[in-house]
Structure 1
């Protein structure tokens, strides 16, 4: 039974979630280097002591923010793409990315911010590598699901294909964020064209009855 000086487990969980949401808004708007715990406490309407009760440090809070966001993003990809038909998986993927570029762009900036911080902060490095590994695993599942050895021959290993696909998606996504003048529609059109070219080079249908790689689906 919790003591009177400690919140009940359900209330504590709700409070922690609320603080993560508020921290997410602050960090996404201003970046990790320009936000202090005091700023987050003020935006959340709590004292600095209360914030420290739930998070030992600014680093601890950032990790909680990224973990929460990336869990949501990966689940969204799994729901939309893994469950899609062979004819619609690319369309579903582009819809998720379009939503991310239009509605959650600031959060993606924060993800790239964390990756930069990971080069200097060992505690961040482990979590960044863990998230990247989950994304690699998701891509590997999609490769095995939509381009199995029974229907497609590969010009490289699965690991090699996964690394190339991840590098392309990540690189083009970062490029679209840096190019403020580029619309999400133009960014995704460029991504779609490049991804299709890469897939055609990596996966070769064995028979004419094999489901083809989706063709370009046009403007968004």
Structure 2
């Protein structure tokens, strides 16, 4: 049987295509990935790629979704093993630092996703869903800390908005080579936000 006649529901083959596509996007950029390149890495034909995805835009859009889904899944596996909310939040910060090829490539995808979403309204629902999931992760940890008596009674949603925005800004600076931002600076800044907003007693005026 030729590879173009495989069952359409072959999850393993579909995921292999998406894995190759997002890695290429991270290395070359969204608009510099060709279907031929994806097929070559997967050891298959362009016909097989189009069997699963009608066009290039479908491949790239689903590859973006796949990359972010995999990152969420990996992070969730780590975080669920940590009961203490404060330790869980610090672990989340560590997982977000652009250290190592895997995480830096994921951040590269995020940056490209932001750019494409700005120009392509069709991507905005996907983008909003990812941000909702990330916000929900932070909100859940903060409320867990409040139940555990670790964190102060603050607006968890407002805090999540602050932390995620600071994380994004710092990561952008690191990936674009801003001289004043390093991974250590990013970590210190985010931990400082946690301490100031969640663990330190409010100043008495």
> TM-score, normalised to structure 1's length?
0.76
Structure 1 unmatched ranges of 5 or more:
207-220
Counterpart of 2:73 (choices 75, 78, 81) is: 75
Contact 1:147/1:203 (8 A) holds in 2: no
Partner of 2:92: 93
Task: Say whether the 8 Å CA contact 1:136–1:166 is kept in structure 2.
Answer: yes
Counting helix residues as a fraction of each chain, which structure ranks higher? 2
Alignment length, in residue pairs? 196
1:118-176, Cα deviation, whole Å (9 max, x unpaired): 1111221111111111111111111111234955434x522211100110111112221
Q: Which segment is superposed worse, 142-151 or 29-38?
A: 142-151
Aligned counterparts of 2:42 and 2:150: Cα–Cα separation in 1: 54
How far did 1:55 drift?
0.8
Structure of greater Rg: 1
Equivalent-residue separation in structure 2 for 1:15 and 1:38 (angstroms): 16
Offset of residue 201 of structure 1: 2.8
Shift of residue 14, structure 1, vs aligned partner: 2.1
In 2, Cα distance between the equivalents of 1:192 and 1:148? 25
Specify whether residues 142 and 188 from structure 1 end up closer, same or farther in structure 2 by C-alpha distance, changes over 3 A only.
farther
TM-score, with normalisation over the residues of structure 2?
A: 0.81
| Closer, same or farther: CA 170–147 of 1 in aligned 2, 3 Å | farther
- Structure 2 contact 90–191 (Cα < 8 Å) conserved: no
* Counterpart pick for 2:29 among 27, 31, 51: 31
Q: What is the CA RMSD across the aligned residues, in angstroms?
A: 2.7
2:45 to 44, 47, 61: 47
Structure 1's 172 and 82: CA in aligned 2 closer, same or farther, altered over 3 A? farther
| 1:176-191 → structure 2 map (5 Å cutoff) | 176-179=174-177, 187-191=182-186
**In structure 1, what is the equivalent of residue 189 of structure 2?**
194
Name the structure 1 match of 2:159: 161
Is the Cα–Cα contact under 8 Å of residues 153 and 203 in structure 1 kept in the other structure? yes
Contact 1:63 1:127 (C-alpha < 8 Å) held by counterparts? no
